[in-house]
Amino acid sequence: MARPDGDSAGSPDIIDDALRMVGAVQRRLIVAGVRRGVAGATSSSRTPDVWEQAVREEPGREEPALDQLLGIVRTKGPEVAGHLGRAGVALVGALGETAAVIGRSIERAQRERPDREKAGAGAPGSRTP
């Protein structure tokens, strides 16, 4: 065994102990496997495993197309409605921003038009109706 002062003189003993423990575990696993194998070979009423059950089970009856469609609508409908709602909000927001830009542009043009008319009225050579 290793000493607490850090001397590793006892490390071969630790390795030997670990190897003996691994050997004992391997023997126990082999014995348990042989017992299961013998019990499985001699036992006539064994329970089928999951794979045998899955292969033996018959596939379920397929639902009618209308029921399938309604199921899809029930499961995916809320998700689609949420996406459409968010898209509608984004569209309304974009249209609002566009209307605001156009409105500011029209207001600016209307403000500049009287300024141009006043500046143009006093200029020489300008026509007045």
Q: Identify which of 21-30, 44-53, 87-96, 112-121 has the greatest average pLDDT.
A: 87-96
- pLDDT (tens digit per residue) in 73-94: 999 999 999 999 999 999 999 9
Instruction: Let me know if residue 13 belongs to a domain.
Output: yes
Could you tell me what percentage of the chain is helix, strand and coil, using 3-state DSSP and rounding each to the nearest 5? 75, 0, 25
The full length of the chain comes to 129
Instruction: Let me know if residue 4 belongs to a domain.
Output: yes
Instruction: Let me know if residue 74 belongs to a domain.
Output: no
**Structural domains of the chain, count:** 2
Instruction: Let me know if residue 95 belongs to a domain.
Output: yes
Q: Identify which of 24-33, 60-69, 86-95, 109-118 has the greatest average pLDDT.
A: 86-95
d(CA 34, CA 30): 6
Count of helices and strands (H, E) across the chain: 3, 0
58 against 71, higher pLDDT: 71
Place of tokens 């499985």: 40
Per-chain mean pLDDT for the chain: 80
- pLDDT (tens digit per residue) in 47-63: 767 777 777 766 677 88
The predicted structure's pLDDT at residue 102: 96
The predicted structure's pLDDT at residue 129: 47
State pTM to two decimals: 0.38
Q: How far apart are the first and last CA of the chain?
A: 118
Instruction: Let me know if residue 5 belongs to a domain.
Output: yes
Instruction: Let me know if residue 55 belongs to a domain.
Output: no
Instruction: Let me know if residue 16 belongs to a domain.
Output: yes
Instruction: Let me know if residue 19 belongs to a domain.
Output: yes
The predicted structure's pLDDT at residue 1: 46
Domain that residue 29 falls in: 1-42
Helix (H) or strand (E) holding 54: helix 50-56
